[in-house]
Structures are given as structure tokens and as C-alpha cells.
Structure 1
Amino acid sequence: MNQVNMMQNGNTAGGKGRLQINVTSEITSYPVSEAEISISYTGIPESQLERLKTDSSGQTETVELDAPPVEYSLDEQNDRQPYSEYTLDISAPGYQPMSIAGTEILADVKAIQNVRLKPSAEGTEEEEVFVIPAHTLYAEYPPKIAEEEIKPVNETGEIVLSRVVIPEYIVVHDGSPRDSTAKNYYVRYRDYIKNVASSEIYATWPADTIRANVLAIMSFTLNRVYTEWYRNKGYDFTITSSTAFDHKWIPERNIYDSISVIVDELFSNYLSRPNVRQPILTQYCDGRQVTCPNWMTQWGSKSLGDQGYSAIEILRYFYGDNMYINMAQEISGIPASWPGYTLEVGSSGDKVRQMQEQLNVIAGAYPALPKISVDGIYGPATEEAVKKFQDVFDLPVTGKVDYATWYKISGIYVGVSRIAELV
């Protein structure tokens, strides 16, 4: 392979990362088949490396691409860019073409580039262009402005919600709060968390380090939701993409499989302290470019993960022993709740029937999924349909409907059946 860009900023090739692209319609959430994707080195458009086409699930094959050595993303003292950058040019009949410059490939993990194409108006082929900025651990971003981790509850209107609810969507203001020119984006909550985690930590880190950081990101976000922090200040959004105020969220950036699986596992959790109803505003910093006593540091959490600390042990190391993992009882926008146990071969009843009905609706949009009998009996055919669903949507392929799979089925069902309404 041509090594002309290996790598930016003097890096040399030494690792391999993987990339899969998923293309759906922005309007219907249905997969877009026969979309064509050209992959080239960012900054060198004539260096086409791969030309891919999506299948009936809107997915490309997984391709292997050059990346810097994995050690670059594991060493706090390393100054070299730990990821390579690629440009994707995506086109499909009936849709506006899109270009994404800066898809980040880390060694030893799979990058997932989700693309939502806009249907093209008759006679228009204007290309949407997105440029992904550098990762927060590699480039310099404004440090977080410190806030109290628990918001006061004695101010009229300060706390609006009576319970912690996992929202279906949040509204992300892509700039600082007072930047009236910045665009607002409606983003699915889980997609937001995956995007932020992929922007702020490296997917090559230990799983429990990733869990600790994901929990901190989710708790902070749910505090903004619960307190309606920005709406109470007269703004029409939930959270910003400014690191000085909130988290780094980047439109159209890629995520990683190791982060995606953990978010799906933990997405209804948040951090709490005794006798405090609201999720804790868990602030943090990188610990290398910026120091933050009494907050979690990202590189520090990586070091503890290397030493075998669990996620809660990492969090308590930084935030104190009275920090606990809690679970929201309500998931907004989901037709019916988790049954409380894993569904598998031999299970039966209304929850199995509901899951089968939802899988059949999803199969109407994703032809690779088989249609199954809606009989409330979890047999081999249902198991195979679940395995195919898990494979298509990047979940561990077990054939069992655990918590993460249940809510992924419900979420995809809501999307393709267009039950979801943006408020």
C-alpha cells in the first residue's frame, strides 16, 4: 500500500485498524443499499485506497487500513498522532453526496462510520462536507470551566424533572452557549455518548477504563437533562459541544466497536451520591495537558485500568467512596420496558412475542434479517434472527436477548417504524 501519508505529523505505519461504514436515510432510518464509498488519505484525494458498496443492510464489508502503532495511543508521554486519518466520499442514487474528511483509524480496533444521507431534491446534487477535527487527547481544547457537581434545588424552576429519565434524543448546540450562529442537532442519546467517548478517550484503552469514562460522560449529560440547565437559562438546547462547558461532540465523526458495545451495555446508568436525586455532574480533564484536582483524569483512569481497577473503583479513586452507579427506571420513546431477565431458547410469553413483532418490523427495512413467526415462543428460528440482528448492529452475537440487545431492538424498531417524534 502507498505509504505517502504514513502518517501525518511524522508518524510511521506500524499497525492496522479496521473500518466499516453504515449508510442509512436521514428521513426514514432505512438502510441505503448500493451506496458507493471511496476511501483515500485525508489531504491526498488522488490516493484512492478502497472503493466499497453497501449491501441490503446499508453496510460495507470491513476493510483493514494502515494506522500508527497501537502503543502510540497507550503511552501518556507519546507526542505523535496515534491515529491515521482518511477521507470518505459517499454517494447513492436519490441522495445528496457526502464527504467526511478525518475519519480516525486506531490500530487494533474497529472504527464504525455511521452515515445518514439526505434525499436529494430534484436537480440538486450539492455535496455535504464534514471535516473532523483532531481528537481531544491529541490537540489542545479549552479546559472545562469548573461547576458545582450538584445543582441547587431550592431555586424556583431549577429542577424540572421528578425522576431521572433516559431521553431518546438530546439537542446538541455545536458551539459555545452564547454562539448564536452555531447549529443545533437532534441526536439520539446513545449515539451522542458514543460520539463523545470516541472523541475524548482512545478505544484501545482497558474496558473498565472505557466504562468509567462512559459512566462519567452519561452522568454529566443526564444532569444537564434532569436540571434542564440550558433551557432554564433561556436556551433551546440540552448541551453544547464546547469542552469549556460540556463535552466534545463532533458531527459525523466515527465511533469504535469497543466503545459502542460498552455504551449499549451501560446506557441507562448514571452516577449518584447518597440522598441526592439528580445525576452527578461528573467533570474531568485529560490529566496531561490540563490538571484538575478532585476530578477524574482520563490518562489517570487509563493507568488504573492497566492495574486492574474496576470501573467503580476507578470512579471512587477520583470522586470519593460515596459515588454509586444507579439506573434510570424509564427509557423515553421505547414502547415497553425490559422484562428483567434474558430471553433465550426456551423462553415464552408476551415479552418474547413483543420482541418477535419488533424484529419483523425491522426485517421489513433490513432484508438480511429473516421474518419469524410471532408465537411468543423463543425457538431456533428466533435465535437465528436475534444473532443476525446482533451481527448487523455490532452487538456480541449470542442469540440471546439481554438488556443491551432488548433496547437496541426497541431503538431500531422505533426508528424504522417512525414512532419516534421529535419534540
Structure 2
Amino acid sequence: MAIGYLTIQTRTAQDAVPLSGVQIRIMDNQGNPVYSLTTDENGETQKVPLETVSKSFSQNPYYTGTPYNSYSVLARAAGFNSLYVSDIPIFEEETAILPIALIPMQESQRSPIQAEISIGKPAVAMQTQRQQEGTVAEPYVLRQVVIPNPITVHLGPPSASASNVQVSFPDYVKNVASSEIYPTWPEASLRANIYAIITFALNRVYTEWWGNHRPYHTNSFPLTLFPP
């Protein structure tokens, strides 16, 4: 059985403050507990090994199965609402870094609320192509290229009613890349896709393709992947 890795980073106060003492439970796709961890003074857990499948499947363009194993994480801390994150992909020889932001309980709350987030499949694993949405009118071109920082992210298709959040532009690129492609691909392929993501986003800003102040969107939960 192949091995991948997972570490969790917990924050609060809009990601500004590390949160120590958070109880972390990692479960497999059947809900069976695999690890029980506690975050340290930096709000991080140790890097733990998890069973997955061979990375050769994710490098085979004709493979139609799921080239990774999925896990779930439950984060709990005294005085904070809980968070359950499911469908976390683990790839062979790769480390998944899962950032978790916990929200303090309100004074009127008697018990914590558990929020749930599902990461879902990367776009490359989807059988149907996603269609771009936006205006068909002639775009207005800005005088110069602007790098939005932070960038407003619409958590859904442009026409859908969904929340808007703000992230830094580098985090936006990392989030989109981790939701579009597999981290096991050759470095040249990763670079080419990341350059395309950056170019596409800046083109949409430069041409105001979605209209003035229209948020740019991604459906991904921020999961950043690095080599172990």
C-alpha cells in the first residue's frame, strides 16, 4: 500500500492567531478513526502517514478510477464551533496541508455548532467539462494589469447565490491549482497549469470579463499540497 501524508493547521481571528490544544480526529472514508491528535503552540499537528493508492494511477491519462484515498477530519476546541472536513484527497508521497479556521462560540450559545465542508474531486477527475459563465458583451480593458490582493472569491458559479470570501492572490492560485490538477504530475506539467491559472485570472481582471467588481470564483476549499 502506498503512503501519503497529512498535517493540519488551525487558526482563529480570521486566520491571524494560531490555535493550540485543538482536538483533531482523522477518519478514513468509512468513518473509522485513524488518528487522534492535538495541535501544538503553533496551531499545527504532526505530519502523519496515511494509506493511499499508487501515484501511477494519477499519472495515467486513461485511468478512470479515483487515484487517491479520501479521509475526513473533525476539529474541536473548547469555546469554539466545530468543523468537519470530508473528502480530503491523499496522494502517494505528497503532503496535504489542511488549514482549519475555527469560529468562537457566541455568548448566547449553549453548545458548539458543527459546520461541514466537503472538498470534492479535483476538476481533472470530473467526467463532464465545466462551462465558463460570464457576459458576452465586449469587455472593458483596463489601462494596466492589476494583481488583486486580496481577491474576492465567489463560492459557486457566477450566477449562483453563494458567499463571497477574500483571500490573498497567492492563496487563490494555490487553492485553484489544488482543486484542478494532481500534485503527482511532473513538475513541468504543474508549472504549466499554474501559469495558466495565473494568466487566466489576470486576464479576467484586466478585461473586466465578469463586469466591474464582479467576484472571481473557485469552488475549492483551500487544501495546499507540497512534497513531504
**Structure 2 length-normalised TM:** 0.89
- Residue 223 of structure 2 is matched in structure 1 by 254
The alignment yields a C-alpha RMSD, in angstroms, of: 2.2
Q: 1:125 aligns with which of 108, 112, 120?
A: 112
Cα distance in 1, alignment partners of residues 45 and 20 from structure 2:
9
Structure 1 segment 62-73 matched on structure 2, within 5 A? 62-73=47-58
- Residue 53 of structure 1 is matched in structure 2 by 38
| Partner amino acid, structure 2, of 1:257 | F
- Residue 195 of structure 1 is matched in structure 2 by 175
More strand by share: 2
Cα distance in 1, alignment partners of residues 177 and 42 from structure 2:
26
Structure 1 segment 264-303 matched on structure 2, within 5 A? none
Structure 1 segment 326-345 matched on structure 2, within 5 A? none
**Structure 1 length-normalised TM:** 0.50
**Is the 8 Å Cα contact of residues 38 and 88 (structure 1) preserved in structure 2?**
yes
Q: 2:27 aligns with which of 29, 34, 40?
A: 40
CA displacement 1:358-384 (0-9 Å, x = unmatched): xxxxxxxxxxxxxxxxxxxxxxxxxxx
**Is the 8 Å Cα contact of residues 229 and 238 (structure 1) preserved in structure 2?**
no
**Higher relative contact order, chain-length normalized (CA < 8 Å, sep 6+):** 2
Cα distance in 2, alignment partners of residues 30 and 192 from structure 1:
20
Structure 1 segment 140-179 matched on structure 2, within 5 A? 140-145=127-132, 158-160=140-142, 162-179=143-160
Cα distance in 2, alignment partners of residues 222 and 107 from structure 1:
32
How many residue pairs match? The answer is 224
Gaps of 5+ in 2: none
CA displacement 1:321-343 (0-9 Å, x = unmatched): xxxxxxxxxxxxxxxxxxxxxxx
Identity of aligned residues (%): 30
- Secondary structure, in 3 states, of the residue corresponding to 1:114? strand
Cα distance in 1, alignment partners of residues 132 and 40 from structure 2:
45
The structural deviation recorded for 1:48 is 0.4
| Partner amino acid, structure 2, of 1:182 | A
Cα distance in 2, alignment partners of residues 90 and 115 from structure 1:
8
More helix by share: 1
**Is the 8 Å Cα contact of residues 18 and 109 (structure 1) preserved in structure 2?**
yes
The structural deviation recorded for 1:227 is 2.5
Cα distance in 1, alignment partners of residues 202 and 104 from structure 2:
33
The structural deviation recorded for 1:146 is 9.6
The structural deviation recorded for 1:84 is 0.7
The structural deviation recorded for 1:76 is 0.8
Gaps of 5+ in 1: 1-13, 242-248, 259-393, 395-423
**Is the 8 Å Cα contact of residues 27 and 35 (structure 2) preserved in structure 1?**
yes
The structural deviation recorded for 1:159 is 2.3
- Secondary structure, in 3 states, of the residue corresponding to 1:166? coil
Q: 2:65 aligns with which of 80, 99, 104?
A: 80
